[in-house]
Amino acid sequence: MKRLVKQFEQQTSHNVIVSYGSSGKLFAQIIHGAPFDLFLSADQELPSKLVALGHADSSQQFTYALGRLVLWSADSNAIDEKASRLKSGDYTHVALANPRFAPYGRAAIETLNALGLVVSSESKLVQGENVAQAYQFIHSGNAEMGFIALAQLYGEGLDRLDKRRQFHGSKWIVPDALYSPIRQDLVVLNRGQAKQIAQQFFDFMRGDVATSIISKSGYSVSTNHD
Amino acid sequence: MINFSPEDISAIWLTLKLASTVTIILLLIGTPIAYWLARTNSKMKGPISAIVALPLVLPPTVIGFYLLIAMGPNGFVGQLTQSLGLGTLPFTFGGLVVASVFYSMPFVVQPIQNAIEGLGDRPLEVAASLGAGRLDQFFTVVLPLAKPGFITATILGFAHTVGEFGVILMIGGNIPGETRVVSVQIYDHVESLAYGQAHTLAGTMVVFSFVVLLCLYWFQSKRGGQWSMK
């Protein structure tokens, strides 16, 4: 996001103020009148809901990124290319984001189901409120492994093995077929409708430059813009 | 009639179990600390008081973050619990108890300390001159005279643990029946936009907290007892 904003600011000499938060919290703020022009959600459901509630227009909603799920461990030897340790159930805790409201958490549960893995005890699945917290559980070693967003590893520079870094862990990128696509939508809110710059940002996000930045950050980009 | 889901009820029971356990432990270990702080002239009084009061000023995120690291497999608490064969504490009820004992400590220690300080030296000197030993002094003189302080400490320790959220969110892992307490359950309801269920639980918590505090102030004015945070 920082790279996108920087690029946009350089291109247009406009200033963008970003308010980060979990999608659910930002949604609640928007319906209660928060002064935002655009909303970049980590899912598709909330932007669609804003459109349905009349806070945005459906013509100005599109999928800017497809999230990719990864199984990650802070231990370099914990995960092989077949994720055998996950499959054999040889762990005390697997971390994930809360599947009740976090898209990556839902995808993690779908993956476990698709692999036919029945987690023997509920207490083996530890839930963070979001992927950032799941990352923290794994990073601190409290959970041997867990499902997070591939983009998080890119953000931390942990996507490649780097011998100079003390710490890189091991990972298994979950095949797309195992979970339904994590569509992340962007929507221009009513407050931003009349603003030229909001429109510019919307167009920028659909353009090649933004698409290339997004796909280099651990996301897939959908080919059809709808 | 209020309609709680089975998950809500499980969260309520877990919260009451946690608050009761923590309050009992805090009365057992907080009382000697409070007694020592009230009576000592040691140079260590300042630093110990500061450590006890830390949770009053630190945000729960800071406490939760360090507890997660310290109690993890690479932290010093985690190494200790592992060498004792207890495994690691995060994501367990025991972990919540340890965290809450630390987090609610000032709410128990300070009222007891204030009550004992309020007694002055005189009652204990008289008791000593009548041949009472230290333990005897505590149970026959300090405990009855400082009773309002102990009751205040019990109520505040319990209520504060019930209201705990940030630390539990950071070390609990949201496991039903083990670490998913009421405050976390409310948060989950809000995040998943289940505002109706959130209202039921949150409203109950407001009423509960109000009644507890009402009892506390009613009790204090009746007994003429006083409590202030130092």
Residues A108 and A194 in one domain: no
B74-129 pLDDT, tens per residue? 899 999 999 998 889 999 999 999 999 999 999 999 999 999 999 888 888 888 88
A223 domain-assigned: no
CA B76 to each of CA B73, B83, B94: distance values in angstroms, whole numbers, following the listed order? 8, 11, 17
Residues A77 and A96 in one domain: yes
ipTM: 0.79
Give yes or no for residue A83 having a pLDDT over 90. no
Enclosing domain of residue A38: 2-66+183-215
CB contact under 8 A, A27 and B193: yes
CB contact under 8 A, A142 and B91: yes
Which two three-digit tokens encode residue A128?
A: 């963070």
A178 domain-assigned: no
- Does A23 contact B at CB distance below 8 Å? no
Position B1 scores a pLDDT of 55
Q: Report the alpha-carbon distance of residue B119 to residue B92 in Å, rounded.
A: 41
In sequence order, the 6+-apart residues with CB closer than 8 A to the CB of A86 are: A71, A79, A94, A115, A117, A145, A172
- Does A27 contact B at CB distance below 8 Å? yes
Residue B136 binned pLDDT confidence (cut-offs 50, 70, 90): confident
Q: Report the alpha-carbon distance of residue B200 to residue B8 in Å, rounded.
A: 10
- Residue among B153, B149, B151 at smallest CA distance from B161: B153
A226 domain-assigned: no
Across A33-42, A114-123, B132-141, least confident range: A114-123
Q: Which of A46, A96, A127 to mutate to test the interface with B (most CBs of B within 10 A)?
A: A127
CB contact under 8 A, B191 and A122: no
Position A2 scores a pLDDT of 82
Q: Report the alpha-carbon distance of residue B191 to residue B222 in Å, rounded.
A: 42
Residues A139 and A73 in one domain: yes
Give yes or no for residue A167 having a pLDDT over 70. no
Q: What residues does each domain of chain B span?
A: 6-223
A132/chain B closest Cα distance in angstroms: 11
CB contact under 8 A, A123 and B193: no
Q: Count of CB contacts below 8 A, A vs B?
A: 68
B174/chain A closest Cα distance in angstroms: 5
DSSP H or E segment with residue A127:
strand A125-128
Selecting from B69, B178, B192 the residue whose C-beta is nearest the C-beta of A140 gives: B69
Q: What are the residues of chain B with a beta carbon less than 8 Å away from any beta carbon of chain A?
A: 65, 68-69, 71-75, 87-88, 90-91, 169-170, 173-178, 187-188, 190-193
Residues A59 and A134 in one domain: no
Q: How many separate domains does chain A show?
A: 2
Give yes or no for residue A161 having a pLDDT over 70. no
Which residue in A has a C-alpha nearest to residue B171's C-alpha?
Answer: A137
Residues A191 and A145 in one domain: no
Position B10 scores a pLDDT of 94
A175-200 pLDDT, tens per residue? 999 999 999 999 999 989 888 889 99
Residue B226 binned pLDDT confidence (cut-offs 50, 70, 90): low
Report yes or no: B129 and B90 within 8 Å, Cβ to Cβ. Answer: no
Which two three-digit tokens encode residue B34?
A: 């409070």
Residues A94 and A120 in one domain: yes
Residue A12 binned pLDDT confidence (cut-offs 50, 70, 90): confident
A222 domain-assigned: no
Q: How confident is the prediction for chain B on average, in pLDDT?
A: 90
Residues A42 and A8 in one domain: yes
Position A159 scores a pLDDT of 53
Dihedral pair phi/psi, residue A57, rounded to 5°: -110, 135
Position B223 scores a pLDDT of 67
Residues A149 and A209 in one domain: no
Report the CATH number of the B6-223 domain.
1.10.3720.10
Selecting from A123, A140, A142 the residue whose C-beta is nearest the C-beta of B175 gives: A123
Q: How confident is the prediction for chain A on average, in pLDDT?
A: 87
The residues that bridge with A62 in the sheet, in sequence order, are A186
Residues A73 and A166 in one domain: yes
Residue B140 binned pLDDT confidence (cut-offs 50, 70, 90): confident
Which residues does chain B have within 8 Å of residue A22's beta carbon, measured at their own beta carbons? 191
A221 domain-assigned: no
Interface of A with B in 44-103 (CB under 8 A): 92-93, 95, 98, 100-101
Which residue in A has a C-alpha nearest to residue B65's C-alpha?
Answer: A136
Which two three-digit tokens encode residue B101?
A: 């004992």
Residue B229 binned pLDDT confidence (cut-offs 50, 70, 90): very low
Selecting from B68, B178, B192 the residue whose C-beta is nearest the C-beta of A101 gives: B192
Which residue in A has a C-alpha nearest to residue B71's C-alpha?
Answer: A142
Starting at the edge strand found earlier in the chain, the sheet holding A38-40 runs A38-40, A182-189, A56-67
A203/chain B closest Cα distance in angstroms: 30
- Residue among A111, A78, A110 at smallest CA distance from A92: A78
Give yes or no for residue A155 having a pLDDT over 80. no
Residues A199 and A125 in one domain: no
| CATH for A95 | 3.40.190.10
Residues A62 and A73 in one domain: no
Instruction: Give the β-pairing of A145-149 and A182-189.
Output: unpaired
CB contact under 8 A, A129 and B187: yes
Residues A75 and A168 in one domain: yes
